[in-house]
């Protein structure tokens, strides 16, 4: 209950204070290329319940596109505005909506697509999905340049499944085991430091 109240308070305040920035990003996305402002994708949340996550759209819009779910390196689908949003991580700010709706928390394991959740070992799946997924966690910060890393692989999806996903699951399980106010505040402080550095370079 305390964590949910914290999430509601932070998400509401952030949506209010960041309203001019969010509006500016929405306008930039809309003017850059045709298509919707938001990109919505099915992710797996608490208890295995699926929901549609919000992100500011960073790729060209093609309803018929069935491209890869992993974004690798300089993907040709990424728009000019989208490249900046991905670098700064501002595309993730739209997930404040998901926090406010109750599908996500500010801090928690990043939600994965059903295709990869199906590969989770049963014990880790139960543990990681026992809490609401979050906008940020240690795992997402450690792998913030995941696309660049995958671009170096001859088989990016195999590298993700065999090498990156197991590490992510261990980090996420560790978060669940240590979850608390102190842990969340530490991760938030680290997130702000990382974001500040990315926006200024």
Q: Sorting pLDDT into bands at 50, 70 and 90, what band is 198?
A: low
Longest dimension (CA), the chain: 46
Q: Would you say residue 124 has pLDDT above 80?
A: yes
pLDDT of residue 68: 61
Q: Give me the chain's average pLDDT, please.
A: 91
Q: Sorting pLDDT into bands at 50, 70 and 90, what band is 135?
A: very high
**Who has greater pLDDT, 190 or 76?**
190
SS3 39: strand
The per-residue pLDDT for range 63-84, each reduced to its tens digit, is 555 556 666 666 778 999 999 9
Q: Give the whole-angstrom CA distance, residue 164 versus residue 162.
A: 6
The per-residue pLDDT for range 35-72, each reduced to its tens digit, is 999 999 999 999 999 999 999 999 997 755 555 666 66
Q: Which helix (H) or strand (E) holds 65?
A: none
> Looking at the chain, how many residues does it have?
201
- 143-152: list long-range contacts, CB under 8 Å, 24+ apart: 143/168, 144/89, 144/194, 144/198, 147/70, 147/71, 147/72, 147/73, 147/75, 147/86, 148/73, 150/70, 150/72, 150/73, 151/72, 151/73, 151/74
Which tokens hold the place of 175? 């978060």
Which tokens hold the place of 127? 């543990």
The per-residue pLDDT for range 140-174, each reduced to its tens digit, is 999 988 888 888 888 989 999 999 999 999 999 99
96 burial class (0-12, 13-18, 19+ CB within 10 angstroms)?
Answer: buried
Q: Give the whole-angstrom CA distance, residue 181 versus residue 67.
A: 39
What is the pTM assigned to this prediction?
0.88
Q: At what angle do helices 19-32 and 80-88 cross, to 10 degrees?
A: 150
């Amino acid at each position: 209950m305390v964590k949910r109240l914290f999430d509601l308070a932070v998400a509401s305040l952030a949506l209010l204070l960041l309203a001019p920035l969010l509006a500016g990003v929405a306008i930039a996305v809309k003017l850059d290329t045709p298509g919707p402002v938001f990109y919505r994708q099915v992710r797996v949340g608490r208890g295995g319940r699926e929901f549609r996550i919000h992100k500011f759209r960073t790729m060209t819009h093609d309803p018929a596109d069935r491209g890869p779910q992993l974004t690798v390196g300089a993907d040709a689908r990424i728009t000019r505005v989208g490249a900046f949003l991905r670098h700064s991580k501002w595309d993730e700010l739209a997930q404040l909506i998901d926090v406010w709706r109750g599908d996500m928390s500010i801090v928690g394991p990043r939600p994965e697509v059903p295709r990869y959740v199906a590969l989770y070992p049963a014990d880790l799946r139960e543990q990681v999905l026992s809490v609401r997924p979050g906008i940020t966690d240690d795992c997402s910060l450690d792998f913030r340049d995941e696309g660049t890393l995958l671009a170096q692989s001859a088989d990016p999806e195999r590298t993700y499944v065999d090498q990156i996903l197991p590490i992510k699951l261990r980090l996420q399980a560790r978060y669940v085991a240590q979850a608390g106010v102190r842990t969340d505040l530490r991760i938030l402080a680290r997130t702000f430091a990382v974001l500040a550095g990315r926006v200024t370079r």
